[in-house]
Amino acid sequence: MSTAANGNELLVVEDLKKHFPITRGIVFQKEIATVKAVDGVSFSLREGETLGIVGESGCGKSTLVRCILKLLEPSGGRILFQGRDITGLSRRDMRPLRRNMMMVFQDPYASLNARKRVGFIIGEALELHGIGTPAERKRRVQELLEVVGLNPEHYNRFPHEFSGGQRQRIGVARALAVNPKLIFCDEPVSALDVSVQAQILNLLKDLQKEFGLTYVFIAHDLNVVRHISDRVMVMYLGKSVELADRGELYAHPKHPYTGALLSAVPVPNPDVGRARKLVVLEGDVPNPINPPSACNFHPRCPRFQQGRCDVDTPPLAPIADDHLVACHYPLERWPMSIAEQPAAVQPVESAG
Amino acid sequence: MSEPLLDVRDLRTEFKTDDGIVKAVDGVSFKVEPGQVLGIVGESGSGKSVTCLTVMGLNDSKFATSTGEVLFRGEDLLKASSSRLRTIRGDEIAMIFQDPMTSLNPVHKIGRQLAEAVVLHNDVSNKQAYARALELLKAVGIPRAERRIDDYPHQFSGGMRQRVMIAMALINNPDLIIADEPTTALDVTTQAQILALLKRIQDDFGSAVIMITHDLGVVAETADDVIVMYAARIVERGPVRSIFNEPRHPYTWGLMGSLPRLDTDLERLYQIPGQPPSLLNPPSGCRFHPRCAFAMPICRQQDPRLMAVGSDTLHEQACHLDEATKAREAAKLVAMFTAGASSS
């Protein structure tokens, strides 16, 4: 990969792997298979940008982020944060670095401790990192509540006194508490209503501008990812299949999987939505214990060529400036207008 | 067709809670014609699910009271006995629930659950019921249906389970299918599969569908008519093209503007300020006024009635704003989307 750090990168991930063993037996455990949840993902992240990661459930998006944060121990590859290799760091050595990498979780109900007051939830990270006196911390928490658009007087309330959108704001305030450089957002808006979702997305954008934050934004909703991201990575079965600038990826997707994902998004316009032809992908994401050979996507791919796609693994290679794709037969063009139907892509018959 | 399949008139449903009475549905009327797809959109708590549960008679009678009329082929379901409702449910009216994992019984095989629905409503043998179950599993596109019929729900993926739910809903050829957020829990690709399936099945069986969702994209692609609900009431309704091309209620504008979409590039999304109101104590007058950018003094006092938009009697909205302003604002919003679509 040509992602070698040139100094500006905040985060560089090289060939990251996370394999979970499946064992059998109680006393003598024998490894019978592995789930390759993340299988050789590389990308780099510039300061102040937002990288969106999309893919269906089970493609390894969340595992990838958990590995980068070292919540899970990676099985292989390297993670460089601000030029420093953090792959092998112990938990203790990792702790001071965690100030710089925070996370916003998906479920605003499950991710806040129901028995603690909001002030404690937001201020806990400050306390753990030994920042400020209790009075200063309280001031900081109130300031954070205000930054995320909540009433600072609500410092002493419990999470159940807030609505879903407000809870997600608390989650954002908690992530901001220690002035991190990088925030991982794992499906932060998928549990919210559209109107509340818009509020949180706008808030995240405003905060990014104000504090120069860098985001890694995971979502399965392509509209949301397009709205917030500068660059987008598409994952399928633990691998990155396409990585490009936002505009480039959505206007000229090259990987057939990206094309299928894009065409599956419902269009909130009855005149356009009903006229377009869908590239309906048949079947489900294959079982990661026994993934298809070579290109993982080949059994569902409309452009599958026998003897090539199921034999030869396509590398993630540049196809244009800042546009990487892992496909032997990338799409030549992508129709955006109704007039131009996806002639190159026909629905597959079926796949069991 | 002169007589509608389902005619809901002034439906009101109240729940007794410890904090007081919640009016979850407050004066909702609508009709569903045979073979029609009606989309109901709105945020959580706007009363869309309760409306449909009331139609099915599934509210807990200990806490819920409903008034109004739910006429299904002229018969008032609110007054029907529970045994009569049982014969209608699953036979003439079927429901598809949001979460296929919790709606299927985990300890029974798929085939048995499907066959049960057949045996309950028809005078057939178990063998015939199984044959019917298999036929439906094939119709909804379950691969190797002969083998999968003896599987348990946990052996199916989310999309497959939703197909089983659809098969179950269709098994007695219902005239009306109520689908409550049928694709919300699914990935986009699976959602596309399920929507295509629903469409095909609706074409084949001619069933009417009430599609409850918060996703405007899904509504735009599937519905013939759309109802927009806010705080237990209908704020706007009309044919799908009128709603999307000439929306007339500020809440509908807000919903459309707050949606990130592939065909437009906005730096910031439009956001509706605040939260949906509590139905224990809803705002006076127009319930949307505390969050509305166009609120006027009259909005606080007087509740707007659903009125036809100009001469278009099919398109109705409930807003005090004058027609000229509404036409201008709607045109601005729609222009924004179409401009984005042509530039990308």
Residue B42 resides in a domain: yes
Q: Is it the case that residue B63 has pLDDT exceeding 50?
A: yes
- Asked if the structure places residue B275 within a domain, the reply is yes
Nearest chain B Cα distance for residue A39, angstroms: 22
The predicted structure's pLDDT at residue A335? 61
Examine residue B234 and state whether it is found in any structural domain, yes or no: no
pLDDT at position A105 over 60: yes
| B180 part of a folded domain | yes
Alpha carbon of residue A198 to chain centroid: 18
- Give the pLDDT score at B30: 95
State percent of chain B over pLDDT 90.
Answer: 53
Write the DSSP string, A281-350: PPS-PPPTTSPPSSSTTGGG-TT--TTTTTTSPPP-EEEETTEEE--SS--S----SSSS--SS------
Whether residue B287 sits in one domain with residue B185:
no
Chain B interface test: which of A195, A202, A248 (most B C-beta within 10 Å): A195
pLDDT score of B339 = 62
**Domain assignment of residue B281, yes or no:** yes
3-class SS of residue B251: helix
For residue B184, is it within any domain? yes
Does one domain contain both B277 and B212? no
The owner of tokens 């979502």 is A219
Do residues B219 and B296 both lie within one domain?
no
Residue A110 exposure: Cα atoms within 13 Å on the Cβ side: 5
Q: What letter represents residue A255's amino acid? A: H
Q: Which residue has the higher pLDDT, A1 or B92?
A: B92
Average pLDDT over residues B101-112: 90
Q: Are the Cβ atoms of A265 and B262 closer than 8 angstroms?
A: yes
Residue B297 maps to a domain: yes
> Domain range for residue B244?
240-343
**B191 and B245 belong to one structural domain:** no
CA nearest B6: which of B172, B166, B178? B178
Whether residues A226 and B192 touch (CB distance < 8 A) is answered with: no
Domain shared by B296 and B199, yes or no: no
Burial A123-161 (b: 16+ CB within 10 A, else e): bbbbeeeebeeeeebbebbbebbebbbbeeebbebebee
Residue B120 and residue B56 share a domain: yes
Question: For B148-200, how does the pLDDT look when each residue is reduced to its tens digit (9 = 90+)?
Answer: 999 999 888 888 888 899 899 989 989 999 999 888 877 888 888 888 888 88
Q: Examine residue B132 and state whether it is found in any structural domain, yes or no.
A: yes
Could you tell me the CATH number of the domain that includes residue B107?
A: 3.40.50.300
Q: State chain A's mean pLDDT as an integer.
A: 86
CA angle, B39 as apex, B38 and B43 as ends, to 5°?
150
For the entire predicted model, the pTM comes to: 0.86
Question: Can you spell out the DSSP letters for A155-219?
Answer: GG--GGGS-HHHHHHHHHHHHHTT--SEEEEESTTTTS-HHHHHHHHHHHHHHHHHHT-EEEEE-
Locate tokens 């409702």: which residue? B85
What pLDDT is recorded for position A341? 37
Pairwise pLDDT comparison (A340 vs B53), residue with the higher score: B53
Residue A343 makes CB contacts below 8 A (sequence gap 6+) with A335
Q: Which of B187, B196, B344 sits opposite A251 (nearest CB)?
A: B344
What is the per-residue pLDDT for A346? 37
* Final residue in a domain of this structure, among B195, B223, B251: B223
Residue B219 and residue B321 in one domain: no
Mean pLDDT score, A126-136: 92
In what side-by-side order are the strands of the sheet with A76-81? A30-46, A9-24, A76-81, A84-85
Which residue of B159, B220, B260 is in closest CB contact with A267?
A: B220
Same domain, B318 and B219: no
Q: What is the pLDDT of residue B344?
A: 40
pLDDT band at A76 (very low <50, low <70, confident <90, very high): very high
Same domain, B41 and B141: yes
* Amino acid B101: pLDDT: 76
CA distance A225 to chain B (A): 9
| Integer CA distances (angstroms), B10 to A151, B13, B51, B232, in order | 39, 10, 11, 12
Same domain (yes/no): B197, B244:
no
pLDDT at A5: 46
pLDDT at B99: 78
Over range A233-249, report the average pLDDT: 93
- Higher-scoring residue by pLDDT: B2, B264: B264
Q: Is the pLDDT of residue A215 over 90?
A: yes
Q: What's the ipTM?
A: 0.83
For the cut 70, the answer to whether the pLDDT of residue A291 exceeds it is yes
Least confident window among A8-17, A311-320, B333-342: B333-342
Q: Are residues B211 and B257 in the same domain?
A: no
Is B301 found in the same domain as B271? yes
For residue B256, give the nearest of A221, A262, A268 by CB distance.
Answer: A268
Q: Do A195 and B245 touch (CB under 8 A)?
A: no
Q: How many angstroms separate the CA atoms of A119 and A131, rounded?
A: 15
Count of the separate structural domains present in chain B: 2
Angle CA B140–B142–B144, to nearest 5: 140
Q: Could you report the per-residue pLDDT of A311-346, keeping only the tens digit for each?
A: 999 999 999 888 999 999 988 877 643 333 343 333
